[in-house]
Structure 1
Amino acid sequence: MTEFIPPGTRWFNLPSPFPMKRGGALHGARLAYETWGTLDAERGNAILILPGMSPDAHAASNPANPAPGWWEWMIGPGKPIDTNRWFVICVNALGSCKGSTGPASVNPATGEAWRLEFPELSIEDGADAAAELVRGLGIDALACLIGNSMGAMTALALLNRHPGIARNHINICGAARALPFSIVIRSLQREAIRNDPDWNDGHYSDARYPENGMRMARKLGVMTYRSALEWDGRFGRVRLDSERRDDDEPFGAEFEIEGYLEAHAQRFVRRYDPNCYLYLSRSIDWFDLGEAHGGSTENALAEIRNLERALVIGVKTDILFPIQQQEEIAAGLRRAGTETRFLPLPSPQGHDAFLVDTERFAPAVTGFLRTLHSVSLLTDKVA
């Protein structure tokens, strides 16, 4: 059981006990986060970023950790999320193994890792934890809440459960509930991990780690994070060089795309805790914003009434969180009275486009935040 904590991580202690939606509570729990920029005197220029399932809180380089972050091109002075203007916070998800409390963390009651004794985890738990962080930093209302992928789900739960916590919102490749296709993919990922003998009902070690299960889970994930259009354009039917093939292995890898998936998987295994993977994956499948609103997503979105503006971005080639899910979010926020722009992008990279398609995502985020900047300047002048 290992946690993978980036240098320069900061921690926020959650209230103890911290109640969980599906029962149980955490004691001595904490959230990992990092910040960029300066919080203004009114504490009104804060932006909170809620990332997807795999990333840590290190979204961009900073003095405490100069290594490039997972959204390096998006955050910094003069970048789309301009830290000359905004105070930016990125939080690692509750349940993760990258600094925030999760199954790989020590249970203070036993002195041992939580493993499968960790309480059942929901997206709503992550939203409540993020709300505690925002308030703990003395911020009454975020200037903007930004969520990507799983983080976009968490953002919707945060807005729904904590009215007024943000004035504006950017929802990127998000969803108000999990759809059957994405559920079945994640179910197969969890099955691959659980069927690895080294998983051992969650009692694995560094010496006996469910590597094959994690490899297969990651490969299944990467298949859905990108698109068939990108695979065809990048790899086609190009075959591996002879030195990269194992001709003695029956049915071994022959194509470049197979080599790519294997390399991607190898970079992931042993850098993510399998039990954390299982918990977070299941929390995504369980998520349904309409659950507490008579099963109606439309009614749940209509309850988000305190937003001024929203930008909802989807990708036309996304098969994991398909474009109609972002269209649904945008329509629901409009019905709630929020001035909302829906932006369907033709990025070929699929779900992960927000990580790599700078050409399309940078102008979209820049333009939206500049509008908020202009409103702020206008308010200052009037005052």
Structure 2
Amino acid sequence: MGDARRYFDLPTPFAMKRGGQLHGARLAYETWGELDAARANALLIFTGLSPSAHAASNAQDPTPGWWEEMIGPGKYVDTRRWFVICVNTLGSCKGSTGAASIDPASGQPYRLSFPELTLEDAAEAAHALVEGLGIEKLACLLGNSMGGMTALAYLSLHPDAVRAHISISTAPQAQPFAIAIRSLQREAIRLDPQWNNGDYSDERYPEAGMSIARKLGVITYRSAMEWVGRFARIRLESDQREEEPFGAEFQIESYLIGHARRFVRNFDPNSYLYLSRASDWFDVAEYGQGSVSAALARIRLERALVIGVETDILFPLSQQQEIADGLRGAGAAVEFVALDSPQGHDAFLVDIARFGAAIAQFLARL
């Protein structure tokens, strides 16, 4: 199996918003489809916190991507028409430079010496990539979850750089509930003695902290309604139960354990901390003298599609409405879609038929 991942070298030094700079940094990205002669059909995707740039299978890498059913020839995001770019966020550990990368100055991993990271830094890195690919203006910028916030940063920093925008289950600024959850996730990691102020190894790894952080996340990514339907109060068979006192007894507990196990060794704990805090820091109102609507009014788009889910407790529907109203105030033709998917925040990864239909209809009008 080949690797479809490509690398873009960021300008050196790459200055960070809150101070510090990176030398020899790079972004990992993947592409699907062909850039047309006018370089006018590019669609850039910003992901949530944990995905890689591998959003869908392609010739170089046939393994299914995290949005496999959404992207491809004849699919909702049709790669016969669009040149799709998916970027791995700066600060992540899936190929882009982050806390787990080697610092060229020391020859050792950055760990906590990595500069303070903001979603604006991630946006600027992606903008450098787009320019590096010779694209003057994106046909469409798509962001979901944390990626939707990164997209708003991109649009705020470069108000004329995009024709159309698809905003999915995101926020113009983190709400106290989301900050509280992410704060607990970070605390779980920091309180694990194996975390050791960021200086861990494969042998001494903060397994427990990462596991709790992931379980907390999964609980907020889905909805209570979905848990009732899937698990109710079903108990584990006696042979599936843990022997220790107060061990897992219900199916929902076992489900969370499985989710955490798949995630824990596949994501770098320090990178998780950096991206989590960057999400808390983001506030589009900084670009509008403290007002979200004034900030969004600066963005010059032709059209926008804003999708939210009624059962999303992390990025509630009211925040999607705020984005839609703000972009409408800027003069864009805005479509607002509120879905009643039971899957909560994660619905955009699961309820592909409904999200895909809304996205495909929007793209067809561009």
1:84-120 CA-to-partner distances (Å, cap 9, x unmatched) read: 1110000000000000000000101111100000000
Give distance in 2, aligned partners of 1:79 and 1:8: 20
- Mapping 1:1-383, distance limit 5 Å: 7-246=3-242, 248-304=243-299, 306-372=300-366
How far did residue 164 of structure 1 move?
1.7
**Letter matched to residue 287 of structure 1:** F
Cα distance between partner residues in 1 of 2:3 and 2:206: 26
In 2: Cα distance, 1:43 partner to 1:359 partner: 29
Query: For 1:311-344, what per-residue CA distance to the aligned partner results, in whole angstroms no more than 9, with x for missing partners?
Result: 0000000000011000000000000000001111
What is the alpha-carbon distance in structure 1 between the residues aligned to residue 278 and residue 188 of structure 2?
Answer: 17
- How far did residue 63 of structure 1 move? 1.2
Provide the alpha-carbon RMSD of the alignment.
Answer: 0.8
Displacement after TM superposition at 1:283 (Å) = 0.2
Q: Distance in 2 between matches of 1:225 and 1:151?
A: 15
1:64 offset after TM fit, Å? 1.1
TM-score using structure 2 length: 0.99
Q: Deviations over 1:163-221 (max 9, x none)?
A: 22110000000100000000000000000000000000000000000000000000000
The offset of 1:7, in angstroms, is: 2.9
**Pairwise CA distance, 1:266:** 0.2
Identity of aligned residues (%): 67
Secondary structure in 1 aligned to 2:255? helix
Contact residue 156 and residue 287 of structure 2 kept, 8 A = no
Q: How many pairs were matched up?
A: 365
Shift of the alpha carbon at 1:8? 2.2
One-letter code of the match for 2:317? I
Per-residue deviation at 1:290?
0.7
Which aligned segments of 4 or more residues in structure 1 are displaced greater than 4 angstroms? none
